[in-house]
Structure 1
Amino acid sequence: MSATAVLLAVTLTVGLCLVAAGPSSRISNKGTEPRKSRAVIPVVTRQVVEHSEERAEACCADLGCYSTGGDFFHIPLRPFNSLPRCALKNDLKLHLNTRRNPVDTQVLDPYDASTLFLSNFNAVQKTQIIIHGFIDNFQWPWWKNTIVELLKNGDHNVIRLDWSHGNTPPYTQAVANLRLVGAYVAKFIHHLVTIQGVNPADIHIIGHSLGAHGAGYSGSVAQSSYNITVGRITGLDPAGPYYTNLPVSVRLDPSDAAVVDTIVTDGHPHSILQLALGSPQPMGHINFYPNGGLEQPGCERGIISGIFQGPTMNASGFDFFGTVAATAFEAVACSHARAPVLFHESINNPACTMKSFECSDYESFLRGECFTCRGRRCADLGFHADISLASQYMTKNYYTITTEKSPFCTSPHKLEFTLQPKTSANGASSKHGLVYVTLYGTLATSAKVLLTPESIDLDPGSTYTFFFETPRELGTVQSIVFSWTAKIELFNPLEWFLTDYIHIEGNLFLTEQDELVSVFQPARSKVEEDKDLLSTLIHSFEQL
């Protein structure tokens, strides 16, 4: 990045940090078509005391009544609540793009039927409604890129909701405003279905962060108020603070649409201590956890390094200010911002599907216990997720590993080997260390891959299985170089100058994504620490 871009990115990053912590502000955006003025919304507020608990209520005309009590109050998880700002209704805008107007938007209004009739909206085509998150804006370049990819995929009605007049600090007010946003979108959906004849199954709501819960409110209100069930909701790293572990009426949940899928990229279970913005809780029928849903690769760089290195998302199509905005946004919320980027890149990239595997938890996934597509136990992350996998009786969690920059897809592998039991001939003993492999394929060679992020016990007679991924397609793997490094025992000087060995029993087995198992014969069984062991392909077979 140029010095000017870096300076602007630093300025915007500081600004985002101050906005997130400081008093309310807003980004002003004007649609290409002016919205007709509407009367001020009648607002009724009152204070109610029940069982010594005081709560506030507000009624926002046709968009419903709201309370700070009930499910929306929880002492440790949701202690400070606000009421939606009813006047926000006049500032909400729905921006339509189609293949007939891919750049300039047409502003739609659920209170003015003519805005739909005079637009390029086509009731026969599928409809996507995008709801941005806290301090985000519908005009920022990652959302514009998503529009481009969606329209490239099909002749869709792509609608972005602009609620930037209600998504600014304080956070508790933005959280409250989101309930009104959901009711507004639900009213619009009712208009689409009853007046335009749209099939509810063709409606797909996509929300990021707070917008994910806004999508949930939209689906929930559409059902409760209008008896309409939308086809799909995708939650992109649903916000954690004020939502995790609260009742389903408060947050996104599987009942909000026929199918709800999520992509979790910043969902550390101890979100407050880790400053995670997402929620680890599975809130959909199908939940994807790239890299375990924890800190994403490339996001460990920190704010300063992130600013100088630029965004991890593909910013090649961004203008100068778009690149600066992306850099600043990632510097503040890198892992949280990764979910919409992964979704965007999944739309039109069949060579980069980010295959994910159903598993009970990330640790089991990394041990290679879930590396199979049999029984429909794998799925592609993102736009093309197989929604037929959704079950009304259970949530399903899928895991994958991505790279740190675009393109994010990888090629998955599982390696298995066994150590010889101790005999008088080999004198094998337990060792503690790290294990590495390098794969040599017909198309490419992998980097040296660390299979064990932490030192593990290497015990005679034990079998070890590791799941790992390489950043690109290698072709047919012809050979494997295996190595290991012993962990030095600082408090045992007798071992400081000794050479450690482990002993491989038989062959190494490499399983690929298509469940083809390749058998590799090592050049020797005795493996000295920090010495490479070459293993050569001898045959392959299909896993039963």
Structure 2
Amino acid sequence: MPLWEPNYLFMDSDLGIRIPVGHVDYFVNGGQDQPGCPTFIHAGYSYLICDHMRAVHLYISALENSCPLMAFPCASYKAFLAGRCLDCFNPFLLSCPRIGLVEQDGVKIEPLPKEVRVYLLTTSEPPYCVHHSLVEFYLQKPRNKDTNIMVTFFSSNVTSSAQITIPRQQLQGRGVLAHPNPHCQVHQVNLKFQASHWVWRKDRTTIVGKFCTAPLPVNDNKKMVCLPEPVNLQPDVTVCRDLKIPCA
């Protein structure tokens, strides 16, 4: 069995190919602009080459560092960020693919499926790897408008954020948050209800709900950790809570 299979890293859909072409196709940060790279053409050559060269740097980092660059199969980047793709059961039978010199990218099924889109987030600096977490918020009562909540993790002076959107008339919203440190090293979470602002009116509703989180892949509910008490969120006011997440 060869160590290498024809898999591809997608880094910049503006200047590269957009369709799946390998057994496993990695769409890093959605296969769009990479964090830390110039976003304006005025940067010249760096604007053209930075996103593409990130693929080389990612692979080198995967060889030199122990933290995994793990990806998750999903229909789209939007669905991945919305927390709709939490495991690797379909089609990999729970073995999530990883970038690096790993037999079949860590996928333990034969034959390998073809043209599977997988998604992962990274940081802007080496070693680039992050630990993906599911973040969820459950409202006690549905609302007549979308509810946006900003979630921020804290660990060792490192912060990472993601937004949860709860659609109108629904109780649950979820998202994926990428943090440089393992899930069990996150010791604090900040929650902020991002109220809608209109010229003539401001949303002053206080929402009440339950916050939960779990590391990806989520194969069952045993990894889920929830705050012990419901959280009251006033518009544009940050609420801080301690997190106690056991290490495996």
Query: Which TM class, normalised by the smaller chain length?
Result: 0.7 to 0.9
Using the TM superposition, give the Cα deviation of residue 464 of structure 1 relative to its aligned residue in structure 2, in angstroms: 0.7
- What SS does the aligned partner of 2:233 have? strand
Using the TM superposition, give the Cα deviation of residue 482 of structure 1 relative to its aligned residue in structure 2, in angstroms: 0.9
- The separation in 2 between residues aligned to 1:446 and 1:282, in whole angstroms, is 34
State the match for 1:528 in structure 2: 234
Shift in CA distance, 410/376, structure 1 to aligned 2, threshold 3 Å: same
Q: 2:132 aligns with which of 409, 412, 429?
A: 412
TM-score, length of structure 2 as denominator length = 0.81
Query: Residue 360 of structure 1 aligns to which amino acid in structure 2?
Result: A
- Contact preservation (8 Å) 2:166, 2:174: no
- The separation in 2 between residues aligned to 1:541 and 1:431, in whole angstroms, is 38
Using the TM superposition, give the Cα deviation of residue 334 of structure 1 relative to its aligned residue in structure 2, in angstroms: 2.1
State the match for 2:198 in structure 1: 489
Q: 1:299 aligns with which of 4, 28, 37?
A: 37
- The separation in 2 between residues aligned to 1:348 and 1:371, in whole angstroms, is 27
C-alpha RMSD of the superposition: 3.0
Using the TM superposition, give the Cα deviation of residue 517 of structure 1 relative to its aligned residue in structure 2, in angstroms: 1.7
- Contact preservation (8 Å) 1:262, 1:286: yes
Q: Cα deviations across residues 247-279 of structure 1 (Å, max 9, x unaligned)?
A: xxxxxxxxxxxx311111112xxxxxxxx2211
Q: 1:396 aligns with which of 116, 134, 137?
A: 116
* 1:365 and 2:84 aligned: no
- Contact preservation (8 Å) 1:519, 1:539: no
Q: 2:11 aligns with which of 256, 265, 272?
A: 265
Using the TM superposition, give the Cα deviation of residue 535 of structure 1 relative to its aligned residue in structure 2, in angstroms: 3.6
Using the TM superposition, give the Cα deviation of residue 284 of structure 1 relative to its aligned residue in structure 2, in angstroms: 0.7
- What SS does the aligned partner of 1:418 have? strand
- Contact preservation (8 Å) 1:415, 1:465: yes
Query: Residue 510 of structure 1 aligns to which amino acid in structure 2?
Result: T
Q: 1:512 aligns with which of 209, 215, 218?
A: 215
Query: Residue 409 of structure 1 aligns to which amino acid in structure 2?
Result: C
Q: Within 5 Å, give how 1:193-208 maps onto structure 2.
A: none
Q: Within 5 Å, give how 1:150-165 maps onto structure 2.
A: none
* 1:499 and 2:204 aligned: yes
- What SS does the aligned partner of 1:412 have? strand
- What SS does the aligned partner of 2:8 have? strand
- Contact preservation (8 Å) 2:27, 2:120: yes
- The separation in 2 between residues aligned to 1:390 and 1:286, in whole angstroms, is 13
Query: Residue 363 of structure 1 aligns to which amino acid in structure 2?
Result: K
- The separation in 2 between residues aligned to 1:378 and 1:387, in whole angstroms, is 6
Structure showing greater relative contact order (alpha-carbon pairs closer than 8 Å, 6 or more residues apart) = 2
State the match for 1:336 in structure 2: 52
* 1:449 and 2:161 aligned: yes
- What SS does the aligned partner of 2:7 have? strand
Using the TM superposition, give the Cα deviation of residue 376 of structure 1 relative to its aligned residue in structure 2, in angstroms: 2.5
- What SS does the aligned partner of 2:34 have? coil
Shift in CA distance, 390/339, structure 1 to aligned 2, threshold 3 Å: farther
- Contact preservation (8 Å) 1:285, 1:391: no
Q: Within 5 Å, give how 1:33-48 maps onto structure 2.
A: none
State the match for 1:282 in structure 2: 20
- Contact preservation (8 Å) 1:439, 1:445: no
- The separation in 2 between residues aligned to 1:387 and 1:477, in whole angstroms, is 28
Unmatched tracts of structure 2, length 5 or more: none
In the alignment of these two chains, the number of paired residues is 239
Shift in CA distance, 383/278, structure 1 to aligned 2, threshold 3 Å: farther
- Higher share in helix: 1
* 1:463 and 2:172 aligned: yes
- The separation in 2 between residues aligned to 1:434 and 1:421, in whole angstroms, is 15
Unmatched tracts of structure 1, length 5 or more: 1-200, 203-230, 233-258, 268-275, 308-327, 423-428
- The separation in 2 between residues aligned to 1:289 and 1:514, in whole angstroms, is 17
Shift in CA distance, 540/332, structure 1 to aligned 2, threshold 3 Å: closer
State the match for 1:311 in structure 2: none
- Contact preservation (8 Å) 1:372, 1:513: yes
- Contact preservation (8 Å) 1:438, 1:446: no
- The separation in 1 between residues aligned to 2:110 and 2:11, in whole angstroms, is 20
State the match for 1:22 in structure 2: none
- The separation in 1 between residues aligned to 2:80 and 2:17, in whole angstroms, is 20
State the match for 2:64 in structure 1: 348
Shift in CA distance, 370/432, structure 1 to aligned 2, threshold 3 Å: closer
- Contact preservation (8 Å) 2:81, 2:175: yes
- Contact preservation (8 Å) 2:72, 2:97: yes
Shift in CA distance, 402/537, structure 1 to aligned 2, threshold 3 Å: closer
